[in-house]
Amino acid sequence: MTRNVRFTHDAALGIAAADTHPAVQRGVLAAGGRILLPDGSEAGLNSVRLLPCVSPSKIVCVGRNYADHAKELGNEVPAEPIIFLKPPSSLNAHGAPIVFPALSKLLSFEGELGLVIGRRCRNLSRSEAWQTVAGFTAVNDVTARDLQKKDGQWTRGKGFDTFCPVGPWWVPKEEVEFGSIRVRTRVNGDLRQDAPVTGMLFSIEAILEYVTQFMTLEQGDLIATGTPPGVGGMKAGDTVSVEVTGVATLENQIVAG
């Protein structure tokens, strides 16, 4: 399995640093904790700090894309995809803390399959959609649920710094059997979410066709495809993990802000 990672040797570098920063490096994680760099050199996983595995110009998210999740929050099943954005400043990495902000009283996990876009695209047909997907990763669409409900729109409740953990790596789509993928979320080891991605209301093809009707997607953009039922609260000290089977397991601890 080809595990594409981003990393840095700079302990002070911001977790959401873009690829344009000179301290950001890319590589492929190989056996024995070796990271293989494009120039043929190597770095040791234990000697670097992992960054989010992508550096998107935007994070496009799909709301209520599993019927049972829509129902558990008291919402109608949507007739078409519900699209919202998380800012790139919300990006977070595997192993880095998720900050429970003082402005919120209810912090929720939302484990999701993430799509990495492989090339610039606009006005896609469903038959073209898969050609634009480079690969898959794990995403946690962390949400301040009380603020989301209070505001009536989702920017603040989902946009805090550290609210979009992604990674630890992404895997090319050719190396994954999409139909067998499940999304599993655990809090302190207890299973909270477990569902097949085939249970999505709107397929990958439908999502990409819909989004690119009004938005240009760039290479490296991240699509969070929606969370299955079972979402719930987290508190400071909890450890949350999102497993996308056959792809990656993303783990973070909650800290008080």
Q: How high is the pLDDT of residue 210?
A: 98
Q: Report whether 201 contacts 98 (CB < 8 A).
A: no
Q: pLDDT tens track of the chain, all 257 residues?
A: 999 999 999 999 999 999 999 999 999 999 999 999 999 999 999 999 999 999 999 999 999 999 777 677 677 888 999 999 999 999 999 999 999 999 999 999 999 999 999 999 999 999 999 999 999 999 999 999 999 999 999 999 999 999 999 999 999 999 999 999 999 999 999 999 999 999 999 999 999 999 999 999 999 999 999 999 999 999 999 999 999 999 999 999 999 99
- Residue 150 maps to a domain: yes
Number of domains, the chain: 1
- Residue 184 maps to a domain: yes
- Residue 19 maps to a domain: no
- Residue 152 maps to a domain: yes
- Residue 40 maps to a domain: no
- Residue 38 maps to a domain: no
- Residue 15 maps to a domain: no
Give the C-alpha separation, 109 to 208, whole Å. 24
- Residue 24 maps to a domain: no
Could you list the residue range(s) of the whole structural domain that residue 143 is in?
54-256
Give the C-alpha separation, 100 to 103, whole Å. 9
Residue 63's DSSP bridge partners are: 82
Burial of 98 (0-12, 13-18, 19+ CB in 10 A): buried
Q: How high is the pLDDT of residue 174?
A: 98
Q: How high is the pLDDT of residue 72?
A: 73
Give the C-alpha separation, 165 to 181, whole Å. 19
Q: Where are the beta strands (DSSP E) in 118-202?
A: 133-140, 143-144, 164-172, 182-187, 190-196
Q: How high is the pLDDT of residue 71?
A: 74
Q: What is the CATH number of the domain that holds 224?
A: 3.90.850.10
Q: How high is the pLDDT of residue 45?
A: 97
